[in-house]
Amino acid sequence: MQSVDHLLSGLSYISPTLFLSEVTYKKTSLVTTEEDVFYLVAFLSSAVSSSTGTNSLDYILKQNRRILDFCKHAQLRFKQYLPYYTSQEEWQTHFGSRWEAFVERKTTYDPLTLLAPGHRIFQKAMSTSC
Protein backbone atom coordinates (compact mmCIF):
# COMPACT_ATOMS: atom_id res chain seq x y z
CA MET A 1 0.00 0.00 0.00
CA GLN A 2 1.30 3.45 -0.89
CA SER A 3 2.16 5.97 1.79
CA VAL A 4 -0.43 8.52 2.85
CA ASP A 5 1.86 11.38 1.80
CA HIS A 6 2.02 10.04 -1.75
CA LEU A 7 -1.72 9.44 -1.95
CA LEU A 8 -2.51 12.90 -0.67
CA SER A 9 -0.02 14.76 -2.83
CA GLY A 10 -2.88 16.40 -4.76
CA LEU A 11 -4.68 17.50 -1.61
CA SER A 12 -6.23 20.88 -2.15
CA TYR A 13 -8.35 21.73 0.87
CA ILE A 14 -9.00 20.59 4.43
CA SER A 15 -11.60 22.17 6.69
CA PRO A 16 -10.92 20.77 10.16
CA THR A 17 -14.17 21.56 11.93
CA LEU A 18 -17.72 21.79 10.74
CA PHE A 19 -20.52 21.78 13.27
CA LEU A 20 -24.11 20.80 12.58
CA SER A 21 -26.89 21.50 15.00
CA GLU A 22 -29.44 18.75 15.60
CA VAL A 23 -32.05 20.81 13.74
CA THR A 24 -29.85 21.44 10.69
CA TYR A 25 -28.73 17.82 10.54
CA LYS A 26 -32.29 16.49 10.41
CA LYS A 27 -33.33 18.85 7.60
CA THR A 28 -30.56 18.09 5.12
CA SER A 29 -29.59 15.14 2.97
CA LEU A 30 -25.95 15.81 3.89
CA VAL A 31 -24.56 12.66 5.48
CA THR A 32 -21.70 12.84 7.94
CA THR A 33 -20.40 10.55 10.61
CA GLU A 34 -22.66 10.71 13.64
CA GLU A 35 -20.47 13.17 15.50
CA ASP A 36 -20.62 16.91 16.15
CA VAL A 37 -17.36 17.57 14.31
CA PHE A 38 -16.21 16.16 11.01
CA TYR A 39 -13.43 16.94 8.57
CA LEU A 40 -14.00 17.93 4.99
CA VAL A 41 -11.21 17.00 2.59
CA ALA A 42 -11.62 18.21 -0.98
CA PHE A 43 -9.57 17.32 -4.03
CA LEU A 44 -9.79 19.76 -6.91
CA SER A 45 -8.01 17.97 -9.72
CA SER A 46 -7.83 19.14 -13.29
CA ALA A 47 -7.31 16.67 -16.13
CA VAL A 48 -5.76 17.38 -19.50
CA SER A 49 -7.72 15.50 -22.17
CA SER A 50 -4.71 14.58 -24.33
CA SER A 51 -2.49 13.58 -21.40
CA THR A 52 -1.42 10.07 -20.48
CA GLY A 53 0.61 11.20 -17.45
CA THR A 54 -0.22 12.27 -13.92
CA ASN A 55 -2.66 14.93 -15.15
CA SER A 56 -4.73 12.50 -17.23
CA LEU A 57 -8.30 11.70 -16.21
CA ASP A 58 -7.48 8.00 -15.94
CA TYR A 59 -4.60 8.67 -13.54
CA ILE A 60 -6.68 11.03 -11.39
CA LEU A 61 -9.57 8.54 -11.15
CA LYS A 62 -7.16 5.74 -10.19
CA GLN A 63 -5.57 8.01 -7.58
CA ASN A 64 -9.02 8.76 -6.13
CA ARG A 65 -9.76 5.02 -5.99
CA ARG A 66 -6.45 4.37 -4.18
CA ILE A 67 -7.30 7.03 -1.60
CA LEU A 68 -10.74 5.48 -0.99
CA ASP A 69 -9.20 2.00 -0.76
CA PHE A 70 -6.65 3.30 1.75
CA CYS A 71 -9.42 4.79 3.90
CA LYS A 72 -11.37 1.52 3.83
CA HIS A 73 -8.27 -0.53 4.66
CA ALA A 74 -7.42 1.83 7.54
CA GLN A 75 -11.06 1.58 8.71
CA LEU A 76 -11.55 5.33 8.56
CA ARG A 77 -15.16 6.46 8.59
CA PHE A 78 -15.74 8.58 5.51
CA LYS A 79 -18.38 9.71 3.06
CA GLN A 80 -17.73 10.42 -0.57
CA TYR A 81 -19.52 13.28 -2.31
CA LEU A 82 -20.19 13.29 -6.00
CA PRO A 83 -19.48 9.57 -5.70
CA TYR A 84 -19.53 7.01 -8.43
CA TYR A 85 -21.94 4.63 -6.72
CA THR A 86 -23.56 2.29 -9.19
CA SER A 87 -26.23 0.60 -7.08
CA GLN A 88 -28.95 1.49 -4.63
CA GLU A 89 -27.21 -0.76 -2.11
CA GLU A 90 -24.13 1.49 -2.18
CA TRP A 91 -26.35 4.54 -1.67
CA GLN A 92 -28.07 2.83 1.29
CA THR A 93 -24.66 2.28 2.86
CA HIS A 94 -23.76 5.91 2.16
CA PHE A 95 -26.89 7.26 3.89
CA GLY A 96 -26.81 4.67 6.68
CA SER A 97 -29.40 5.34 9.37
CA ARG A 98 -30.73 8.31 7.36
CA TRP A 99 -31.72 6.18 4.32
CA GLU A 100 -35.40 5.85 5.32
CA ALA A 101 -35.77 9.63 5.77
CA PHE A 102 -34.07 10.20 2.41
CA VAL A 103 -36.44 7.77 0.64
CA GLU A 104 -39.44 9.39 2.32
CA ARG A 105 -38.37 12.85 1.12
CA LYS A 106 -37.70 11.58 -2.38
CA THR A 107 -41.15 9.93 -2.51
CA THR A 108 -42.82 13.10 -1.22
CA TYR A 109 -41.02 15.73 -3.29
CA ASP A 110 -39.96 13.84 -6.42
CA PRO A 111 -42.35 10.90 -6.88
CA LEU A 112 -41.56 10.59 -10.60
CA THR A 113 -37.81 10.55 -9.87
CA LEU A 114 -37.15 13.38 -12.31
CA LEU A 115 -34.45 15.07 -10.23
CA ALA A 116 -30.82 13.88 -10.23
CA PRO A 117 -31.20 10.81 -12.47
CA GLY A 118 -27.44 10.65 -13.00
CA HIS A 119 -26.86 9.63 -9.40
CA ARG A 120 -28.58 6.26 -10.09
CA ILE A 121 -30.17 6.20 -6.63
CA PHE A 122 -33.72 5.38 -7.71
CA GLN A 123 -35.16 3.70 -10.77
CA LYS A 124 -37.03 6.10 -13.04
CA ALA A 125 -40.79 5.92 -12.57
CA MET A 126 -42.67 4.12 -15.31
CA SER A 127 -44.67 6.29 -17.70
CA THR A 128 -48.44 5.76 -17.52
CA SER A 129 -49.46 7.69 -20.64
CA CYS A 130 -52.56 6.57 -22.56
CB-based burial, 23-46: b 16+ in 10 Å, e otherwise: eeeeeeeebbeeeeebeeeeeeee
- pTM for the full predicted model: 0.53
SS3 37: strand
Separation between Cα atoms, residue 87 and residue 85, nearest integer Å: 6
Top mean-pLDDT range of 42-46, 85-89, 108-112: 108-112
Band of pLDDT at residue 124, cut at 50, 70 and 90: confident
Q: Where are the alpha helices (DSSP H) in 52-122?
A: 57-73, 88-95, 99-109
Residue 55 · residue 48 · CB < 8 Å: yes
- Widest CA span of the chain, in angstroms? 60
The per-residue pLDDT for 65 is: 86
Separation between Cα atoms, residue 54 and residue 128, nearest integer Å: 49
Separation between Cα atoms, residue 32 and residue 20, nearest integer Å: 10
